[in-house]
């Protein structure tokens, strides 16, 4: 191992969070290095290159707000940005702010250990120059909430002779499914986005669905230029408004109750928001997230739409969700998803009724049939929120590992910091709004808070910061209490870690909303970082 080098901060990950964190710390005169395991910047949008990969937040709002000149100069082309456009944007940001000179690509962080005596983090990495150690006052995890893909441990996986892909780790050269018999396992967001695209190529596509999801149309297309010019003219107000809404988008939830609205008015509002497309439908009334009876009205509306679109009644029946309220799993935003099942070359297999038994050399066998497949696409999601963090051997005071600390589920103060791990920060970590919000709004808020906190330490001659266990415990209890006031715990979702066998069932994101969360973080800072031990 080479001689350790020293910097003020190590940042892990070169997506939206890592790039902005580097820019902010540099602006404070601090030295920093970013370690990125990919061979390019982009984070989520570097890895997720599957067919149809597209953001479910509209492009004018899924972008950095920290530099008014950047937001005026950049031109989006579509209402919902596709992966290639997002990757171009992030590369543009890296170049515009000369970030690449402090980013080390093809570099995997293997461990981060806090040295009590020195008051430093010792970060071990493996990259083009071999194994290295870097010491830093601060260690900042910008590893992303959805960055550790997982393939279920199916029997016979190692015997299958066809091609295997995961939507979260897609070949950069792309995949041609022309003339192929393809199976897609999973109908979450990446499955729902990729299935229509794969169906246009494949000779035949079998979709293996265990749990149907609610999906709404994106109504994507070229970005309306009049809207875009209006947004640019009012960007500063739009950005400020977004900081204080529940979702981090500049659209406050509808003020009226779905239950109190006359049926004809409720139908009209649903129709308007279905036509608007995207997340708007789930926000159009004030009680959809807290009242099962209210939620049932929008759930039945979407089921009726499935019946209208899908021609085969049995296929429509299998596609209709009944096991969770709308929005308690991340609602999917699609282009032609339900209509794809009207194609002659697409079959839907209900693997809740007939479970997958094993993979065979030639394909896949369920309880009642074997399917010959040339390629299998796993759209089976991620070890969300904690997977990337626990994939690194992180050890705090007295050598206690983060994995040990989180054995019964993640515990963090504000989703930003962990008791027993001084000067370790997590961007959009468990206990923050993160995946329940516009990620860029939440990322910028976290990066700004972390950089302000570091500046406070430096200006006051302080070297160490960590939460007190009591503050951490109170926040974890609050996160769970707020979740229990909503319908979210009624879903067996990846928000709870339910897609990972053996993972503790703890509701990880904060459902209180971006605005309320920001106010709490600001209050903590205004009270000289209440809840933290500063030394």
Question: 86 and 105 in one domain?
Answer: yes
Q: Are residues 481 and 524 in the same domain?
A: yes
Q: pLDDT confidence of 336, banded at 50, 70, 90?
A: very high
pLDDT in tens, 434-466: 888 999 999 999 999 999 999 999 999 999 999
Q: What is the pTM of this model?
A: 0.94
pLDDT bracket for residue 278 (50, 70, 90): confident
Please check whether residues 406 and 499 belong to one and the same domain: yes
Q: Which burial class, exposed, middle or buried, applies to 193 when counting CB atoms under 10 A from its CB (0-12, 13-18, 19+)?
A: buried
**pLDDT tens digits along 171-197:** 999 999 999 999 999 998 899 999 999
Q: Would residue 318 count as lying in a domain?
A: no
Q: At residue 34, what are phi and psi to the nearest 5 degrees?
A: -110, 130
- Position 503 scores a pLDDT of 53
- 408 is a domain residue: yes
Q: Are residues 167 and 205 located together in one domain of the fold?
A: yes
Instruction: Answer yes or no: do 137 and 106 share one domain.
Output: yes
Torsions phi, psi of 186, nearest 5?
115, 135
CATH number, domain with residue 508: 3.50.50.60
Angle at 15 between CA 229 and CA 466, to 5 degrees: 115
- Amino acid 148: pLDDT: 56
The rounded mean pLDDT for the chain is: 93
Query: Does residue 437 form part of some domain?
Result: yes
Q: Is 155 inside any structural domain?
A: yes
DSSP string covering 280-322: GGGGSSTTTTT-HHHHHHHHHHHHHHHHHH-SSHHHHHHH---
* Residue in the structure block whose two tokens are 């904060």: 510
Which distant-in-sequence residues (6+ apart) come within 8 Å of 380 by Cβ? 149, 150, 151, 152, 166, 185, 186, 188, 499
Q: Nearest CA to 41 among 85, 94, 97, 102?
A: 94
pLDDT grade, residue 2 (50/70/90)? low
Q: Is 421 contained in some domain? A: yes
Over residues 377-429, the pLDDT tens digits come to: 999 865 555 667 888 999 999 999 999 998 888 899 999 999 999 999 999 99
Among 317, 348, 380, give the residue marking a domain's end: 380
Is residue 371 in some structural domain?
yes
Range of the domain at 13: 5-148+384-534
Instruction: Choose the weakest-confidence range: 3-7, 47-51, 399-403.
Output: 3-7
CA distance 175 to 187: 19
Domain boundary among the residues 341, 360, 380 is at: 380
What's the structural domain count of the chain?
A: 2
- Same domain assignment for residues 129 and 161: no
DSSP letter assigned to residue 161: -
**What's the pLDDT tens digit per position in 245-263?**
999 999 888 999 999 999 9
Provide φ and ψ at 351, rounded to 5°: -90, 0
The pLDDT of residue 4: 79
Token output for 496: 């709870």
Among the ranges given (35-39, 137-141, 256-260, 403-407), the one the predictor scored with the smallest mean pLDDT: 403-407
Q: Is residue 246 part of a domain?
A: no
Q: How far apart are CA 326 and CA 419, in angstroms?
A: 35
Nearest to 235 by CA among 59, 439, 22: 59
Find residue 359's DSSP bridge partners: 364
Q: pLDDT-based confidence at 282, cuts 50/70/90? A: confident
Which residue in the block uniquely carries the two structure tokens 């029946």?
317
Instruction: Note the pLDDT tens digit of each residue in 488-513.
Output: 888 765 555 545 555 555 667 899 99
Give yes or no: residues 20 and 120 share one domain.
yes
The DSSP line for 64-131 is --S-HHHHHH----BSS-BHHHHHHHHHHHHHHTT-GGGEE-S-EEEEEEEETTTTEEEEEEEETTEE
Please tell me the predicted confidence (pLDDT) of residue 497.
Answer: 52
């Amino acid at each position: 191992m080479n001689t350790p080098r020293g910097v003020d901060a190590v940042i892990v990950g070169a997506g939206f969070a890592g790039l902005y964190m580097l820019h902010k710390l540099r602006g404070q005169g601090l030295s920093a290095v970013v370690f990125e395991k990919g061979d390019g910047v982009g984070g989520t949008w570097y890895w997720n290159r599957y067919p149809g990969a597209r953001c479910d937040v509209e492009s004018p709002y899924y972008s950095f707000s920290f530099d008014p000149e950047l937001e005026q100069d950049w031109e989006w082309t579509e209402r919902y940005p596709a992966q290639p456009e997002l990757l171009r944007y992030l590369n543009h940001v890296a170049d515009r702010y000369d970030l690449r000179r402090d980013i080390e690509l093809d570099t995997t962080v293997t461990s981060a250990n806090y040295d009590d005596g020195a008051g430093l983090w010792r970060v071990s990495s493996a990259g083009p120059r071999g194994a290295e150690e870097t010491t830093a006052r601060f260690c900042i995890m910008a590893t992303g909430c959805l960055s550790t893909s997982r393939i279920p441990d199916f029997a016979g996986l190692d015997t299958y002779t066809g091609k295997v892909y995961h939507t979260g780790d897609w070949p950069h050269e792309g995949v041609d499914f022309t003339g192929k018999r393809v199976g897609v396992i999973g109908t979450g967001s990446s499955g729902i986005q990729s299935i229509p695209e794969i169906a246009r190529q494949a000779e035949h596509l079998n979709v293996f669905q265990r749990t149907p999801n609610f999906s709404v149309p994106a109504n994507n297309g070229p970005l309306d230029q009049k809207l875009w010019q209006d947004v640019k003219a009012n960007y500063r107000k739009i950005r400020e408004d977004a900081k204080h809404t529940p979702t981090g988008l500049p659209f406050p939830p509808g003020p009226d109750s779905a239950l109190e609205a006359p049926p004809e008015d409720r139908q009209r509002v649903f129709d308007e928001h279905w036509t608007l497309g995207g997340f708007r439908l789930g926000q159009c009334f004030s009680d959809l997230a807290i009242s099962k009876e209210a939620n049932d009205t929008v759930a039945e509306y979407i089921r009726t739409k499935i019946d209208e679109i899908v021609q085969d009644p049995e296929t429509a029946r299998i596609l209709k969700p009944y096991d969770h309220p709308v929005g308690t799993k991340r609602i999917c935003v699609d282009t032609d998803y339900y209509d794809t099942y009207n194609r002659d070359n697409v079959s839907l297999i209900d693997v809740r009724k007939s479970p997958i038994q094993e993979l065979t050399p030639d394909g896949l066998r369920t309880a009642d049939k074997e399917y010959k497949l040339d390629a299998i696409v796993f759209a089976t999601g991620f070890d969300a929120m904690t997977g990337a963090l626990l994939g690194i051997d992180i050890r705090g005071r007295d050598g206690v590992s983060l994995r040990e600390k989180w054995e019964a589920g993640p515990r963090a103060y504000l989703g930003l910091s962990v008791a027993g791990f001084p000067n370790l920060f997590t961007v959009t970590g468990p206990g923050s709004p993160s995946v329940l919000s516009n990620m860029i709004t939440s990322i910028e808020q976290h990066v700004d808070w972390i950089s302000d906190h570091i500046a406070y330490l430096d200006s006051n001659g302080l070297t160490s910061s960590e939460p007190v266990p009591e503050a951490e415990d109170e926040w974890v209890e609050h996160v769970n209490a707020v979740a229990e006031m909503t319908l979210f715990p009624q879903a067996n979702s990846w928000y709870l870690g339910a897609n990972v066998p053996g993972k503790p069932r703890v509701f990880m994101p904060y459902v209180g909303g971006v605005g309320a969360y920001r106010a709490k973080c600001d209050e903590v800072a205004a009270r000289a970082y209440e809840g933290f031990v500063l030394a």
